[in-house]
Structure 1
């Protein structure tokens, strides 16, 4: 609201006398009558003073409006965040799925910062989401204490998905044909942390067989598939694995000495296939080859196993070309 100042509404002599502390208005009136310039100066001073007071008041009102707008903006932002944020007890939100997608795409443990490199979420948000996923069992901490990897609930989901669709995949036909040529149980497995996970298999028709169903996890150091996987990792990762892994003896033939295992892996890498001579299950032999992706990295292994009473390891070697042909076909599906 604007203000207009007029000469006739300014304080009179009596008011000014009281304002300046004079005992009455006669002295001030006589001063103003004797010196009109003084009267004008006092009135100009009061005009400036009142204008300044009004300016201060307007400035304070402007600051209050700005503060109110800031509070309104922050409140709106919080409301929007709550609107798009799923409760912790509900199914994972789209952002949670994006986190799992990034982790799966890299195929190795990642820190929250590394996960967020592509998502570009606010730092508190990514840490909160990763923390929630860890608390719910979808992620677990890597041995380094900083990185995250698939947790038990996510692994259970993965196995369920694998069991759901593995019957309809072209890879199934490849394993069936391989089984028909060899006559023994044929397996397709993938790396799963510190183990190999069976994702598909075609059982032998013989009544004597080894019962390892789809979804089974077998150790890396004691199986043909696991040793093939270990032979493909670089020396740094292998060294870290050997330091933390428990090289458990499943049979008297299991390799439990780190240096012996390192030597065996070097030979496997050179020859391109891996064997299991009663190292995991007494009386069982196995042979495995790698399934490589387009970049030449191991993505799975294809193998077969049999009781030694029916097939010795030496006799099993004649099926190595069949295994390699199946692995090549599987690679073409990637």
Structure 2
């Protein structure tokens, strides 16, 4: 069977999936709002939501559609069978293959990052990222990336209690400078470390989010400073792109926005 391109006509299944996607992102919507979002006639939307309701994928309450118990069961099954250690490794191996450098995945343990996965690229030399090793939040790209993924209040509280140990001459041990670095990482999508933990290495890290929008891990790419600085492709965007792909596979989406009210409902 030849795959249908995006330019082809959409069928009932496509429209039903769009309705489910809208409600996944927005939480609830009236029939009129679904008509506007999906872009088909009211009668077509009525037929679709009635079939989805009969199969328990949708439920109607107070004039608004919400995801039903069948959708909830499917979502819970997906979450149960999809965690970061299941999803991330293939994409991290691909990143290590593309760059030739060492790629790692870390999770929070106390106020440190613990490496739970590592892939060594073909160019990699020994780097200080052994599996199971613990790393400080303030002096590593993976740690600063994790801080950048935290909610602002929790990030502030975490930084306040960090010991801010000095590892090299480049280690940032001033809390205000750390906050600036974390804010910059949050703005651009990745964190950087230039010899702050290991004087001879440069690292780039990015946070990974789960389906609830909570930071669940962080990934990093590390290598000798001279080679990382001379690389043709920028490592920051590459690690941010990979982290975003992992997050997407975990169910994370940053597209959720309230449905804009239709003109006739404004002021109601």
TM-score (norm 1): 0.46
Larger Rg: 1
Among 118, 121, 127, which residue is 1:204 paired with? Answer: 121
Give yes or no for the alignment of 1:279 onto 2:193.
no
2:166 is matched with 249
1:318 is matched with 234
Q: Which moved more, 1:171-180 or 1:238-247?
A: 238-247
Q: Rate the CA distance shift 1:322–1:268 in 2: closer, same or farther, 3 A.
A: closer
1:159 is matched with none
Measure how far apart 1:219 and its partner are. Answer: 0.3
Q: 8 Å contact 1:209–1:307 — kept in the other structure?
A: no
Among 184, 187, 191, which residue is 1:270 paired with? Answer: 187
1:128 is matched with none
Measure how far apart 1:260 and its partner are. Answer: 1.1
Of Structure 1 and Structure 2, which has the larger fraction of its residues in strand?
2
Q: 8 Å contact 2:107–2:116 — kept in the other structure?
A: yes
Q: 8 Å contact 2:205–2:220 — kept in the other structure?
A: yes
Q: 8 Å contact 1:225–1:288 — kept in the other structure?
A: yes
Measure how far apart 1:170 and its partner are. Answer: 4.6
In structure 1, C-alpha distance between the alignment counterparts of 2:124 and 2:143, rounded to whole Å: 26
Other structure's SS at 2:125 match: coil
Alignment length, in residue pairs? 167
Q: Which runs of 5+ in 2 are unaligned?
A: 1-84, 251-268
In structure 1, C-alpha distance between the alignment counterparts of 2:232 and 2:148, rounded to whole Å: 21
Q: Rate the CA distance shift 1:239–1:278 in 2: closer, same or farther, 3 A.
A: same
CA-based RMSD of the aligned residues comes to: 2.3
Q: Deviations over 1:265-322 (max 9, x none)?
A: 111111111000001101100011121222322111121000113221x747623343
Q: Which runs of 5+ in 1 are unaligned?
A: 1-165
Q: Give the 5 Å matches for 1:186-197.
A: 186-197=103-114
1:122 is matched with none
Measure how far apart 1:196 and its partner are. Answer: 0.8
Give yes or no for the alignment of 1:258 onto 2:190.
no
TM-score (norm 2): 0.57
The structure, 1 or 2, with the larger RCO (C-alpha pairs under 8 Å, 6+ apart) is 2
